[in-house]
Amino acid sequence: MPMLRLDRILSVYTAYSRREGSERIKKGRIRVNGSVCLDPSARFEPEGLRLDCDGSERILHENNTFLLNKPAGFVSATEDPKEKTVLDLIRQEDRFPALFPAGRLDKDTTGLLLLTSDGALCHRIISPSARIYKLYRAEVNGPLTEEDALAFAAGLELDGGEICRPAELEILKSGEKSEALVRICEGKYHQIKRMFAARGLMVLQLKREAVGGLTLPPDLKEGDYIRLDEAALRQLFSTK
Ligand code: URA
């Protein structure tokens, strides 16, 4: 990773603009690896750097990827004029370098959402050609049958004529309200809801439980998140 000027590091890894960062550096409010640095043009490698801004210290990482247990009521966007976004769930000090959701969950969908600052990684996760599987638990408003499972496996036709790739439907409970697990390896707009709609059913609740080889940790409360390390990222791509 290239060495960056300290004022640039502050503009990428904190909420300060380059000018605000530069002013703080000159006032002696920034410590790097434990020592005050008064020179905005001093160069450092950001990865692993211990940066203390106004008494709040953290270790920088070139990129961050977080696994969030998304609650209902938040949109998968970085900003929105009206709605609360998933970024509102991320602590200020974790929002840099700038994060964005790797894929989308609807406002009313809960569960595993990845947020990353790494554009290449995001592309690998959401690109249909990468065939990363997503596992959803759905509750629907009517009985499910083996015929539904066969239709999912054959590749459903959605409203508007789009054809889905073969998907797995595992029926857990069938009745007035049914429960099922669905595995898909693409991410069309409202895909799961539209797949069930193609079978004449409405989704009442939807939760994403896994993406690739990563599953939602059972002890991670809704609204909480964890940072993924290298091993976890390898796990993400380990099972397709
Ligand atoms: N499919 C949907 O319909 N909604 C989601 O949030 C995710 C997949």
pLDDT tens column, 111-137:
999 999 999 999 989 887 888 999 999
Q: Which of 52, 80, 94, 106 is catalytic?
A: 106
Q: Is residue 88 predicted with pLDDT exceeding 60?
A: yes
- Single pTM value for the model: 0.93
Count the helices and strands in the chain (H runs, E runs): 6, 15
Q: What residues does CATH 3.10.290.10 cover in the chain?
A: 4-59
Q: What residues does CATH 3.30.70.1560 cover in the chain?
A: 133-211
Beta bridge partners of 210: 135, 215
CA of 131 to the centre of ligand 1 (A): 17
Contacts of 82 (CB under 8 A, 6+ apart): none
Residue 204: which of 172, 178, 167, 171 has the closest Cα? 178
Q: Does domain 4-59 have CATH number 3.10.290.10?
A: yes
Q: Is residue 209 predicted with pLDDT exceeding 90?
A: yes
pLDDT of residue 240: 52
Could you give the 3-state DSSP secondary structure of residue 120?
helix
CA of 236 to the centre of ligand 1 (A): 20
Give domain 65-128+216-236's CATH number out of 3.40.980.10, 3.30.70.580, 3.40.50.300, 3.30.590.10.
3.30.70.580
What are the helix (H) ranges across the chain?
Answer: 6-13, 18-26, 119-126, 146-154, 191-198, 230-236
CATH class (in words) of the domain with range 133-211: alpha beta
Q: What residues does CATH 3.30.70.580 cover in the chain?
A: 65-128+216-236
pLDDT tens digit sequence for 136-172: 999 999 999 999 999 999 999 999 999 999 999 999 9
Q: Rounded to whole angstroms, how far apart are CA atoms 27 and 89?
A: 32
- Residues enclosing ligand 1, CB less than 6 A? 105-106, 109, 190-193, 206
